[in-house]
Amino acid sequence: MKYVDINRRAVFPGANGACAPVIYVVDAEEHPFDIDAPARGRACTIVKVCVRDWNDSLTPWRAPGIYRGNPDFAGNAAITLSELVSEAADAVEHAEGLAPSTRAICGYSLGGLFALYAFTHTSAFAACACLSGSVWYEGWVDHLRGLAFDGAGRFAFLSIGSKEKHAAPKILHHVQDDMAECAAILRERGCETEFAVGPGGHMSFVRERFDAGLSALDRFLA
């Protein structure tokens, strides 16, 4: 697989056994997230799976980098999603002896954007958690508004830090409004949606946001 690396995974078995729903948490070597504490003690099984090349594999289309000197985002989320759904998930579940009743997806930052992308571009996931997701991404809100996905019977948890809109790049100044708009669009499509604004900036209270997001998914799925 070009972008999904199933060899770099962590599995946290759910209390409901091998048939428990599986929540896939998007991670990457460049930006690893410590989810050990939030992932333990859930009814659902949590699988942290790595992607290669954070900026390339998780973005929906090409767009300029937001900091001076940064490369453009490559926009290969469609390839990553195809690998995850058609190859990686089945391979992981076979290797770990899992037979989940359903699946969900969770991610932070660009991983949160990808989680929302995956949730709205396939029916493979019954729920998603978009944690401090990069929904400021150029063209994303309009793209989401134009999708004809069915949210009935599905669930989404979206969260953002109250200080994230004060980050230096101008494109980030509307991120909280963008997240609220994403939540509104999901609700319009019949999706049960929870939107939370918490304290801090983008890389503060990360553990707490993972805990809240995984708790919300666990409640819905289990």
Asked if 209 contacts 108 with a C-beta cutoff of 8 angstroms, the reply is: yes
Ordered mean pLDDT values, 10 residues apiece, the chain (222 residues): 95 97 94 93 97 95 90 96 98 98 98 98 98 98 97 98 96 97 98 98 96 98 91
pLDDT (0 to 100) of residue 67: 85
3-class SS at 170? helix
pLDDT (0 to 100) of residue 202: 95
pLDDT (0 to 100) of residue 199: 97
Structure tokens at 14: 């759910």
pLDDT (0 to 100) of residue 222: 85
> CB under 8 Å to 180, separation ≥6 — which residues?
195
pTM (two decimals): 0.97
Closest C-alpha among 73, 183, 59, 176 to residue 113: 59
DSSP 158: E
- Domains, in order of start, for the chain: 4-221 (3.40.50.1820)
